[in-house]
Structure 1
């Protein structure tokens, strides 16, 4: 069953030792870590433990971009065709013939069969390398056909998922592509189609055995949707954009209406205040005009701007000649009455 796994082997740098170049080491400490099967030695990631017990710079590499090297530092060379770089990365070695001992999962250490083009794995599932496979630390050729006896290797890895730590068993065999080696019968059998019962991923042609015990679709195949899905998505996007614009328009229009109503309310209040002032002015003016108008009154010197009748004019005690009988009035624009100033006897005001 395919799962989303996180193997500890992804952290190769963390599994390397701490001894630097020239430091002491022991080849007896070289091992594969339990659960991840990552190669470990006393030396750091750029050196290996030599036979003389000291850490020496690695003499080869098997990865295009190995861990542990600083930017711009010199990388050891990749091995040429016909050779391989072992886990220790000490020196390139010739490919191993069939039945030779090999390191775990190092199919690339084994010599390819004559018909490598027909036996090579083209599915990128790690079934073999050029038709050669390393099973149980022995080089073999993946050339077993249906019904023939086969060799199987089950390796238990420690993996981590959403529910925590669990064991993931990887089962490999030396059957040709399209067949799998049954772990019980130890015979090559045809891979199963989608919907058939299964117990392991290797049994399914899709390489995906579901938890329900049937073969599911290949998870590496990209999913294709119908044209109607694109149409629905396009309409949804258009409706979302139009709805957003319409919502913003309605919101701003409501805000404009609220501001307009505030201005109208302010104008009505100011207009009412102005009308009240005019009414108060008219009331005060009417009350002043209704007062008694005689010489003994304190208002005898006040008159209306609208004009004064001869009987409403005040009688001056010291009237000046008509030629010099100028009258001056003082008042402000807001008053309907003025104050008449009469000249003194010497002609001054």
Structure 2
């Protein structure tokens, strides 16, 4: 009888915990649906809409029982969504663009992250912020910010920095989508050159596609391929970042236990990327994983917004804006020189 009573109590506890988690996660999911609706009907960036709507519902995180579920969405759902991104990329992307283009893109990603680290040190923003902004600008905007944030050690500025970074790179990417095609045409770039420039410098995938195909179909094809190569760089960046943090001992958890060198979601991400490289994964599987990843990341962004107050966001200051803009200008002007030199 005692054993049955303990089992029943444990079951009730699990059901109760699941119910509590579902409250906040459900609200974050609803916000993600609203953001997707606004994106599809009004052309607004879905990630930015999820973030702004999430911030508007910050009171739910502070004053209700939604907080555990919001935390769950911003951590666990985020990591599952990032892991599923692995099926969108493959190592064959490296071979399709040619050695020279690959070399320039790899150098651009690494040097932009280094610029973020140096700039954050000079501006006294902390190395977490430098890696977060540098990686998101260099690789794939909001998605990279979410992935890198999941690897970085947590501190009292983590949610605020993530919210700012997602907002900043999305806004800058939208501006670049309008301005960069004009710059490419004014500079007299050929369709392949314009594709390389647009794909290597605009932050988010959707904006790269939008900018590329406004110039020409050939430019859009090249820009998309280049952008996907940058997305593929997310795997090695997370891999080495996770190992570096693990070896440094900075990723110690609240119970003082050291985590593995690579978090489980990073391992799954790398395994799915490798799987997509060695076998022909059915298109419907990739499409299903991409859609699931999209919704999970939107939900996680909404949850991150709900955890961030405007008062906290205002404390970041102009120096953080200077850093993200500097990283963006570095990437843009750098590839203008690359295209002109080649």
Question: Same fold judged by TM-score > 0.5?
Answer: no
The structure whose residues are more often strand, as a share, is: 1
**TM-score, normalization by structure 2:** 0.21
**TM-score, normalization by structure 1:** 0.21
Which structure ranks higher in relative contact order (CA pairs < 8 Å, sequence separation ≥ 6)? 2
Larger Cα-atom Rg: 1
